[in-house]
A and B are shown apart, each in its own frame.
Chain A
């Protein structure tokens, strides 16, 4: 008589305190030896009630809370929220403010991508690129601190304007930074991108096809990593993005299939270069004449009744802000909903983690680049 020996599945709990889950995320992995059979993410360990705060605070007071949502790219969050409120109130912001917003927004995008690929390298086991990248990140922080007064959470972009003016000196420093940054980025790029171990760990891992990416709400670098040429800065331009000349890097499956972890990683490196291009053009175009508070509304007592859905491109993808205003004298929004890019991207995890190795889960998670503050809000 033949006996079939059956082995048991094992449930492994990863997180919420885990060095590579990028914050407090818990994954429940059902494994058959080394192979993951099912992966169930549990969120909410950083649910800080952002939407409840929005219903209780007036429009200006919400901006600091948007900072704390995606704390790696605060400027872009401020900006996304301001775009929505400006659309609601019909404010057109002066050109100088728009230039400033573009500059700080792109600087912050670089800082955020640095964390993304720095920690991604860290997850895979490469420590040096992380340290090298952090040197550059500190330089960006110095610039942003000089402009806004804070290192990380800026509260810089206001409805109808920006919080503080900058001077010519700051522009010069920014220009200098752009020049210094390029070789530094190349260094990280050379160190990590084509490293044999790194490529082995990331190429052909966690492949997300085009259709899946769109269906699961991938946006931003993740979507472009799957080979979709889509960037709100180009396809639905807001602010001054029509003025600048820049490319949209799209994943082409250089090391493996289109849409694998390596593609998602390389997009971020290339995007940093494009951001530098944008900043350099903006520095050329900006003029320091003009009042930054010109279009800042004095009060919020005359809000129109209505609702808007405004979306913009943050480093993690499309951030949509849905604001419902009751109108009349109410200075608080009736409802604010944030469509957070990381939340939507994370929802694919259940799907693509079937049948991969345990160590690949880490690579996939790192390549999707989530910020738990924004996932849980």
Chain B
């Protein structure tokens, strides 16, 4: 870079995007809210063996106002769907959603006879990463979080010019 040698040691140069994305992706705070069986695996991901803290996203916040990430873990029923939407709206920007498990991806095992199950959470809120499985293993959820981090890394604050 052209600034080499001008600035003192210990200084690195990067883009604004780079700094912002790095900050965003290395401390994702998920919302501690579980719906069904998948939530237990989410708990396991946060607990002893798998330890989500290694990837900077262990701070489960009880309040949607303090979260960046919503992990929809489990079956979204009709009665719950209205609440999930409200919770999503309460989260501050930038916000991300991981849909964990086949239930929240598409209704899962309850696709055909589940009169009270929403057939996929993406019908009410936008989803960034889908994690398949019934339930997904904790490793799978971690992989989902890596994918989200990759996605965050590609974000830019520059607006596209609409021609």
Contact = CB atoms under 8 A, between A and B. Distances in A.
Q: Does a CB–CB distance below 8 Å link A and B in the complex?
A: yes
Interface of A: 16-19, 23-24, 44-49, 52-53, 56-57, 64-65, 68, 71-72, 115, 130-132, 134-135, 137-138, 151-153, 372-373
Given A44-B79, A45-B79, A48-B77, A138 B114 contact: no
9 contacts: A44-B79, A45-B77, A46-B80, A48-B116, A131-B48, A132-B48, A152-B40, A152-B41, A153-B37
Contact of B110 (A23, A44, A48, A372): A48
Interface string B29-60: 00111111101110010011100000000001
Contacts of A48: 36, 75, 77, 110, 114, 116-117
Nearest 8 A-B pairs (CB), nearest first? A71-B37, A134-B47, A134-B48, A17-B33, A45-B80, A19-B62, A135-B48, A138-B49
A49 B116 contact: yes
A56 B112 CA distance: 10
A53 B64 CA distance: 34
B147 interface: no
Contacts of A44: 77, 79
B61 to A, nearest CB: 9
Interface in B117-155: 117, 134-135, 137
B113 interface: yes
Contacts of A19: 32-33, 60, 62
Contacts of A45: 35, 77, 79-80, 83
B47 A23 contact: no
Contacts of B134: 153
B87 interface: yes
A130 B134 CA distance: 24
B113 A52 contact: yes
Contacts of A138: 44, 48-49
Interface of B: 31-37, 39-41, 44, 47-49, 60, 62, 64, 74-75, 77, 79-80, 83, 87, 109-110, 112-117, 134-135, 137
A46 B115 contact: no
A19 B67 CA distance: 14
Given A134-B44, A151-B137, A52 B80 contact: no
A71 B36 contact: yes
A132 B49 CA distance: 10
Given A17-B33, A130-B47, A152-B41, A49 B113 contact: yes
A334 to B, nearest CB: 15
A48 B104 CA distance: 13
A24 B38 CA distance: 13
Contacts of A372: 36
A16 B37 contact: no
Nearest to B78: A47
Contact of B77 (A46, A57, A71): A46
Given A18-B62, A68-B109, A153-B37, A47 B77 contact: yes
A49 B36 contact: no
A244 to B, nearest CB: 29
Given A48-B116, A56-B112, A68-B109, 18 more contacts: A16-B80, A19-B32, A19-B62, A23-B39, A44-B77, A45-B77, A46-B80, A47-B116, A48-B114, A49-B113, A52-B115, A56-B113, A71-B40, A131-B48, A134-B47, A134-B49, A152-B40, A373-B36
